[in-house]
Amino acid sequence: MSLIILLLNLLQNYFVMNFKIIGLGSNLDLENSLGNELIQIFESHEYNKVHIITAFSSLSAVNGIISLSKENKISDLTIITGIDQKGTSKEALEELLNSTAKSYIFYNPSNIIFHPKIYFFEGIDKIKVIIGSSNLTSQGLFQNMETSICVEVNKNEDLSLIKDLTQNFSSLFDLSDKNLKEISKELIEELSKLDIIPNEIDRKRSYSKSSIREKNNREKIISLFPKRKSAKINQKFKKSKFIESISDIEEDIAEVDFLDNNKEEILVWKSSALKERDLNIPTGKNTNPTGSILLKKGETENIDQRHYFRDEVFNNLDWTKDKTHNHIERALATFKIIIEDNEVGLFTLKLSHNTDIESVTYKQKNSMTNISWGKAKEFIAKPELLGKKIELFKKEDLFILKIN
């Protein structure tokens, strides 16, 4: 909060009139998040230069900023992110590397933490600066209780405030700081090997309140501190290379609302011990990564695996015939995937069902239904999951897939 105090003092000194408070407080109905403010700024087309300095970055938020910059033809985008306290993921850095942004990492190996949050926009006629508590993460921009001050200054007015800001952080604006390193593939790999940056799953895990201990004490905790409604994350900041955006589901990294409603989770299937083919891990000439898992009987009793999944588990999905193979039906379903008690995210996965009852597969009573892992594959194809089992729960039209 020291940056906010600094800015308030500067405002008093220079009496800048065009400023406002933004951020989520106790009134969620205001929809007054920094994320929504950033979207409006980008889409205003009034600025061509953007300079972001943030302590932490997540994949979804970086993806949102990059998309906004591309859609609105920002010619000059610079993003500096810290990596302290495992607050920035490897995937977020890779997203920055693969973008057109000039991207840098700031890191100090001492105990001093890099903690600023500055969003600087410059156009032909004016400059807009936002300083506050929100990191470049989807929760920080849309859901956490955060506060920021937004200041707009015309270039023909007194720019003392802007000069004070850029001088205080001069080495981060002119990119001369010795602790700044331009993001590269080699740097990312080295930081990953040194265990300084986590993958996106571990980043979420470290900031999640969904620990086993807390889940076991959930009723007691809620009796002390009641649940609060979460604000919505804009769709632009929910899309990522591994988390599908679903229009009628609002995702919260720490917890998903549908898991906390009064509907019961019903166990509909338990697999046998997972093998290489199930997890798409090729081990030899006879093991091909198909990208999918066949839904077999497993440890679920009294079912016919040829019909059970299509006719009972996934019967309410919108099934359509494949245009090329008329005996194949396709459908999409929403899955929340949890691996060893760690929530990975929400995925829209494709299901396929073979309706040909004259086929050899059917007559041999083999599985006729499969799930394609799609963008979840990078979390599934892990040797450490061999021998574990899947439990599939149904909760209305949503499915929870747990691997333990």
What mean pLDDT comes out for the span 317-329?
90
For the stretch 258-303, pLDDT in tens is 334 445 789 999 999 999 999 988 665 554 556 899 999 999 999 9
Pairing mode, if any, of strands 369-372 and 180-182?
unpaired
For the stretch 99-108, pLDDT in tens is 999 999 999 9
Residue 249 pLDDT more than 60?
no
Answer with the residue of higher pLDDT: 2 or 128: 128
Hey, how many other C-beta atoms are within 10 angstroms of the C-beta on 129?
A: 22
Residue 283: its pLDDT value, please?
Answer: 64
Alpha-carbon distance values, 130 to 7, 20, 35, 109, 269 (Å): 10, 10, 11, 28, 50
Residue 217 pLDDT more than 80?
no
What mean pLDDT comes out for the span 372-395?
92
Residue 96: its pLDDT value, please?
Answer: 96
Residue tagged 């929809």 (tokens): 31
Residue 342: its pLDDT value, please?
Answer: 86
User: DSSP labels for 58-86?
Assistant: -HHHHHHHHHHHHHTT-SEEEEEEE-GGG
Q: Could you tell me the pTM of the whole model?
A: 0.63
Considering the domain delimited by 2-205, tell me its CATH architecture: 2-Layer Sandwich (3.30)
333's tokens: 């379903």
The band of 187, judged by pLDDT with boundaries at 50, 70 and 90, is very high
Residue 10: its pLDDT value, please?
Answer: 60
Instruction: Determine what percent of the chain is predicted with pLDDT higher than 70.
Output: 82
Residue 106: its pLDDT value, please?
Answer: 98
Answer with the residue of higher pLDDT: 277 or 207: 277
CA gyration radius, the chain? 25
Residue 210: its pLDDT value, please?
Answer: 53
The band of 205, judged by pLDDT with boundaries at 50, 70 and 90, is low
Cα angle value 175/179/184 (rounded, 5°): 75
Comma-separated ranges of CATH 2.40.330 domains in the chain: 262-403
Residue 245: its pLDDT value, please?
Answer: 31
191 vs 14: CA distance, rounded Å:
42
Residue 27: its pLDDT value, please?
Answer: 65
What mean pLDDT comes out for the span 376-389?
92
Alpha-carbon distance values, 357 to 305, 325, 326 (Å): 13, 14, 13
Q: What SS3 class is residue 30?
A: helix
Residue 247 pLDDT more than 50?
no
Residue 225: its pLDDT value, please?
Answer: 85
Comma-separated ranges of CATH 3.30.870.10 domains in the chain: 2-205
For the stretch 108-158, pLDDT in tens is 999 999 999 999 999 999 999 999 999 999 889 988 889 999 999 999 888
Residue 132: its pLDDT value, please?
Answer: 95
Q: In this predicted structure, which of 212-226, 302-316, 386-400 has the lowest mean pLDDT?
A: 212-226
Residue 32: its pLDDT value, please?
Answer: 80
Instruction: Tell me the torsion sign for CA atoms 305, 307, 310, 312.
Output: negative
Q: In this predicted structure, which of 68-77, 203-212, 353-362 has the lowest mean pLDDT?
A: 203-212
35 vs 52: CA distance, rounded Å:
13
User: Please, where are the H alpha helices in 291-370?
Assistant: 308, 360-363
For the stretch 9-42, pLDDT in tens is 665 555 445 888 897 766 665 668 899 999 999 9
The band of 338, judged by pLDDT with boundaries at 50, 70 and 90, is very high
The band of 216, judged by pLDDT with boundaries at 50, 70 and 90, is low
For the stretch 350-376, pLDDT in tens is 999 999 999 999 999 999 999 999 888
Residue 213: its pLDDT value, please?
Answer: 52
What mean pLDDT comes out for the span 177-195?
96
Considering the domain delimited by 262-403, tell me its CATH architecture: Beta Barrel (2.40)
Hey, how many other C-beta atoms are within 10 angstroms of the C-beta on 181?
A: 13
